[in-house]
Amino acid sequence: MPIVLDRNLVADRDHIVVAVSGGIDSMVLLDLLASLRVRRKLELVVAHVDHQRRRSSAEDARFVESRCKDYGIPFEMMRLEPAGSGNFHDRARKARYSFFLDVARRHGANKVALAHQADDQAETILMRIVRGAGLSGYAGMPRRSEADGIELVRPLLDVSRAEIAAYQAERGLPYRDDESNAEDHYTRNRFRHHAMPAIAKENPRYLQKFAQFATYIDEACAVVGRLADEFAAVSVASEAGRVSFSASAFLRLEPAVRKEVVKRGFDRLTENAVELSHAQMLSAIGIIASSKPRGSYDLPAGCRIEKNYDIVAITRGDGADPAFSIPVPGFGRYPLPNGSILFVGVKPDDIDGIHIELCYNNLDFVFPMTVRTRRNGDRIAFAYGTKKLKDLFIDRKLPMDDRNRMPLLVGKGGEILWIIGLNIKAATPPGRDKIDITYTRR
């Protein structure tokens, strides 16, 4: 039975890494690509992962290597070493894809071909509907995606398991059978053995319907993504460990676009390693939409969403205490934990920095000073009297994260001389000499 691979996924002169487990799907994919080598001027290399979870896994590896010799195709293998606790399937998936990309880089390949087919796609979509996912997740597996400049393609995604079996039988292709596929231990197997046959009875053409569903969702994702891009270009600020935007601008977006904006911010901070649940997404958006001027909600992976009046920030802490205290015993240059520099001298150190002048009559009454973060009860003196830093920060509608990291210059007697981040100087007595203090943000 002929199977035609999508020419948009496999083009002339492609250099392709073929992910081959030894099962029927990957062996059919390998045979199809091998049969096109000469006519399409393809270069192929096979990548195989031995998960070492079954006694027969070593035999699978030897089988795939032997078939590669028959085809005259280079063979690369990785053994996945056993690990302790944690999600094995998630770890194995990350290790596989990392290996495939490494093989592609070493061989100069431009694509990695994966053998997922139409039944796999239908199972994936149904599992995600039952489990819950973001909008893009409901589209199933993409036909093509990109990682580190290398395309990941699924040339069999429109081909059914029955068509693959017919091709294998016609060609007499050998393959390895994974005995665990017959068990109901894994979620996918339970869907495959029980849910999908029931759906097939309702509509024998269910694979086409799942494919249509995936297309509709994919098209909707493109629209939502474009609107999220437009919002990000105008309203989102990104820096290390933080993504922020205007709450009022956010709330003018359509609900689907709101979710995409929050998802992208969270994905950026976690490098796509963690997925937000539907409940977590609604809670995060609820903080933004609340009539209360301030609120916060803890997200997975050490992230947090916080609203302070019109500013929304999604942050990821590194687990470290933001508080610090650095002595300033005399003239010199002092690096701060946020990467900035405090310079104490007789004239400004950096024209791009901000600076203040302190007057004095005797340096013994000036040093040592301290640069530190805020503490309970901190006050700053102005000509009209003193004010609590807490009240001043509230008046300025400063986010809590910024308050906790705000550097303060503190005098020898414990008095606050300068709120550095806001460039607010305290009222200080006059003197005949001056010190210039420069703060340069990095």
Domain ranges of the chain: 15-117+133-183, 236-316, 325-440
* pLDDT lower than 70: segments of the chain: 1, 83-88, 318-321, 349-352, 442
Burial of 60 per CB tally in 10 Å (0-12, 13-18, 19+): buried
Q: Please give the CATH number for the structural domain made up of 15-117+133-183.
A: 3.40.50.620
Closest CA to 424 of 403, 409, 402: 409
Share of the chain above pLDDT 90, in %: 66
Instruction: Give me the phi and psi of 328, to 5 degrees please.
Output: -125, 85
Residues in a beta bridge with 434: 359
Q: How far is CA 359 from the centre of its chain?
A: 50
Residues in a beta bridge with 332: 344
Position 302 scores a pLDDT of 87
Position 349 scores a pLDDT of 65
Give per-residue pLDDT as tens, 327-359: 999 999 898 887 788 999 887 766 668 889 898
Burial of 314 per CB tally in 10 Å (0-12, 13-18, 19+): buried
Q: Please give the CATH number for the structural domain made up of 236-316.
A: 3.30.465.60
Position 56 scores a pLDDT of 83
